[in-house]
Structure 1
Amino acid sequence: MAIATRGLTKRFGRQTAVDSIDLAVPRGAVFGFLGPNGSGKTTSIRMLLGLTSATSGEISVLGEPMPGRLSEVLPRVGALVEGPAFYPFLSGTANLGRLDTADRHASSRTRRARVALALERVGLSHAANKKVHAYSLGMKQRLGIANALLTHRELLVLDEPTNGLDPQGTREVRSLIRSLAAEGTTVFVSSHLLAEVEQMCTHAAVMSAGTLVAQGTLADLGRGSERRVRITTPDVGAASRVLTDLGLVPVPVPMSGADAAQEDPAVMAAYPVGRTPAEAIVTALVAAEVRIRGFVLEEPSLEDRFVALTGEGFDVVQ
């Protein structure tokens, strides 16, 4: 495992920020660490990296106990935690150069080339010589990721890496993370944006109020959730009877006043579909001479699964 914890707990006085979590992050994975703001994600990351001590529990990073082997582990880890901080009146290039100089494991002979490559990978080559105080929030976020990429890392830990980025920047960071994983780097991404995690991660864990409520591959997390079939048809009654015969629960979908005035076909939804193949539903509808004008199978999203596990949406701040 790239990261493994057992009973990891952090208390601040009487408040428990992280409550006995057992994380398991496979090597080579793009692992999404999910939860609302205030759910304990950043505190967990700080403990993993030795930035704060755990109240109790065990931590292993890249096969080494933490924080006992901190000096051996951290050179193999790149991280962006709680937003980057830079010298505002130095350029992006100068900032990365200074940070690289502080790394006693980094070679000074290749520094210039590595800084240029890191800036290129995050799309900041055009602003390499601009002073950082003139950078936007998204550009500073990219510069923080560039710092984490100055040397090859076995593990990359990114806390809200798309914070402040526009849609194009978000797509570029997503592509970058995928390319790093393809090169063998394990990427641990903390985020409250489920749609982003679904597009770039292979595994995920869900936090809620300091507790780990689920983890596994994205496919594992989706199991147990219900799917929905949405049918557009003028033969509402007949469609409902077919769905009932298949063991599904037909529910009429309310139509807006504008739709009703135009006499658009009624829409039916069956929830849940369960294990009934979509093809079997279509075959039964056709056999019953139901006129189908639209058929959509809606798979459960990661957010659906989160709500099923916790009863909360991601706009909740703990």
Structure 2
Amino acid sequence: MRTTDLTKRFGRSTVVDGIDLAVPRGSVFGFLGPNGSGKTTTIRMLLGLASASAGEVRVLEREMPANLARVLPAVGALIEGPGFYPFLSGRANLHRLDSADGFASASTRQARVERALERVGLSSAAGKKVRAYSLGMKQRLGIANALLTPRELIVLDEPTNGLDPQGTREVRTLIRSLAAEGTTVFVSSHLLSEIEQMCSHVAVMRAGRLVAQGALDDLRGAGRTHLRLTVATPDAPTAVATLSRLGVPPAPLGESHPASHPADRPAVRPANDSAIGPAIDPAADAAESTALEGELPETVPAETVVAALVADGVRVRGFAVERASLEDLFVELTGEGFDVVQ
């Protein structure tokens, strides 16, 4: 799936501004963006549900919307929440939806419906009326509808919405299995932790523009590496001296956190703050433990830091090296927080 200079205008307002989206075949592609970023509008244009003001869309190597009749039978989608007849059972709803598909075989309908229900864990509740379903069960039924026939592309909008932890894990496993079978899965979600666990590729929208896309590992790798060190407070001056000697220059002790009471001080310094200075760890007594955080150069191995601290007599109670998370990257690119549902 690919777009070239895809644009959508409503009057004088441009909600999607010339994006070039590239979704590799067989990938699980995460699509992120804060409210009003143009994420849902983009999905609707990809599926021919909205016309583009400019640009090109190709889905399954065919130009859209000119080839809707040839492309859509190979695409399963759950967009903006599932809609079903509440007075019919889950199984009956799937039968009706499948019978409305002119490309679906009536002779295999029964078997396909049962298999789709089984794949989303709804076999035991298939005979219940949908009005008695929870939000999570309705979400699963919507995914089952997208899986009634073999698909080359699955588009899911918030697929884990309303699911309990067990249901979330099951949907995550299902998405991975679909990709393993060769199906391309396009997932729009505001749950960054789920995107990190499910997706191989990611694109981030902001104010109608595509601000980043690529393999998830590559995007995370572009972030800086950070050192987070926790030591006993009596050893903090020694730790600061050791870190300075290793090329990780610290800020003067106490300079970065002027709060007079330990409870007023943050436990973790913002990710874009490269200075190392003490921060109080609320999980430990302030008189005994201090947390130091800062940027670790790629040229300084973590093992070297630990060895140097221990050699200098620093009592290391905790040590971690981590790259910027997807959340850090998202905030850096969009300036937005966690609530990015559209």
TM-score range, shorter chain: over 0.9
Equivalents in 1 of 2:166, 2:105: separation in Å?
A: 33
Determine if contact 2:190/2:340 at 8 Å carries over to the other structure.
Answer: no
Q: Given the superposition, is the C-alpha separation of residues 248 and 112 from structure 1 closer, same or farther in structure 2, using an over 3 Å criterion?
A: same
Query: In the alignment, residue 241 of structure 1 is paired with which amino acid?
Result: A
Is the deviation greater in 237-246 or in 98-107?
237-246
Determine if contact 1:34/1:191 at 8 Å carries over to the other structure.
Answer: yes
Give the C-alpha shift of residue 238 in structure 1: 1.6
2:69 paired residue number: 71
Number of aligned residue pairs: 315
* Pick aligned residue for 1:229 from 213, 223, 227: 227
Query: In the alignment, residue 337 of structure 2 is paired with which amino acid?
Result: G
* Pick aligned residue for 1:18 from 10, 16, 19: 16
Indicate yes or no: 2:128 matched with 1:130. Answer: yes
Instruction: Report runs of 4+ in structure 1 exceeding 6 Å deviation.
Output: none
Give the C-alpha shift of residue 316 in structure 1: 6.0
Indicate yes or no: 2:296 matched with 1:298. Answer: no
Give the C-alpha shift of residue 176 in structure 1: 0.5
Query: In the alignment, residue 86 of structure 2 is paired with which amino acid?
Result: P
Give the C-alpha shift of residue 258 in structure 1: 7.8
Is the deviation greater in 81-90 or in 225-234?
225-234
Identical aligned residues as a percent: 67
SS at match of 1:105: coil
Query: In the alignment, residue 236 of structure 2 is paired with which amino acid?
Result: V
Equivalents in 2 of 1:52, 1:288: separation in Å?
A: 65
Equivalents in 1 of 2:218, 2:282: separation in Å?
A: 40
Query: In the alignment, residue 302 of structure 1 is paired with which amino acid?
Result: L
Indicate yes or no: 2:194 matched with 1:196. Answer: yes
Deviations 1:80-99 (A, max 9, x none): 01111111111111110011
* Pick aligned residue for 2:309 from 285, 290, 298: 285
Q: Given the superposition, is the C-alpha separation of residues 107 and 59 from structure 1 closer, same or farther in structure 2, using an over 3 Å criterion?
A: same
Q: TM-score normalised to the size of structure 1?
A: 0.94
Indicate yes or no: 2:301 matched with 1:271. Answer: no
Equivalents in 1 of 2:341, 2:105: separation in Å?
A: 43
Is the deviation greater in 275-284 or in 297-306?
275-284
CA RMSD of aligned residues (A): 1.7
Determine if contact 1:232/1:292 at 8 Å carries over to the other structure.
Answer: yes
Matches within 5 A, 1:35-184: 35-184=33-182
Query: In the alignment, residue 7 of structure 2 is paired with which amino acid?
Result: T
2:277 paired residue number: 252
Is the deviation greater in 246-255 or in 144-153?
246-255
Q: Given the superposition, is the C-alpha separation of residues 275 and 302 from structure 1 closer, same or farther in structure 2, using an over 3 Å criterion?
A: farther
Matches within 5 A, 1:213-228: 213-228=211-226
SS at match of 1:293: strand
Equivalents in 1 of 2:128, 2:3: separation in Å?
A: 41
Q: TM-score normalised to the size of structure 2?
A: 0.88
Equivalents in 2 of 1:258, 1:221: separation in Å?
A: 32
2:242 paired residue number: 242
SS at match of 2:161: coil
Deviations 1:218-238 (A, max 9, x none): 111113312222222231112
2:265 paired residue number: none
Determine if contact 1:17/1:40 at 8 Å carries over to the other structure.
Answer: yes
Give the C-alpha shift of residue 256 in structure 1: 5.8
Determine if contact 2:37/2:205 at 8 Å carries over to the other structure.
Answer: yes
Query: In the alignment, residue 170 of structure 1 is paired with which amino acid?
Result: T
Determine if contact 1:38/1:317 at 8 Å carries over to the other structure.
Answer: no
Equivalents in 1 of 2:157, 2:283: separation in Å?
A: 45
1:28 paired residue number: 26
Query: In the alignment, residue 174 of structure 2 is paired with which amino acid?
Result: L
Equivalents in 2 of 1:247, 1:218: separation in Å?
A: 30
Structure 1, gaps ≥5 residues long: none
Deviations 1:284-317 (A, max 9, x none): 2233332322211233110101112222223368
Is the deviation greater in 236-245 or in 146-155?
236-245
Query: In the alignment, residue 338 of structure 2 is paired with which amino acid?
Result: F
SS at match of 1:60: strand
Q: Given the superposition, is the C-alpha separation of residues 229 and 256 from structure 1 closer, same or farther in structure 2, using an over 3 Å criterion?
A: closer
Deviations 1:47-99 (A, max 9, x none): 00000100100001010000011110001111001111111111111110011
Deviations 1:173-192 (A, max 9, x none): 11110111111111000011
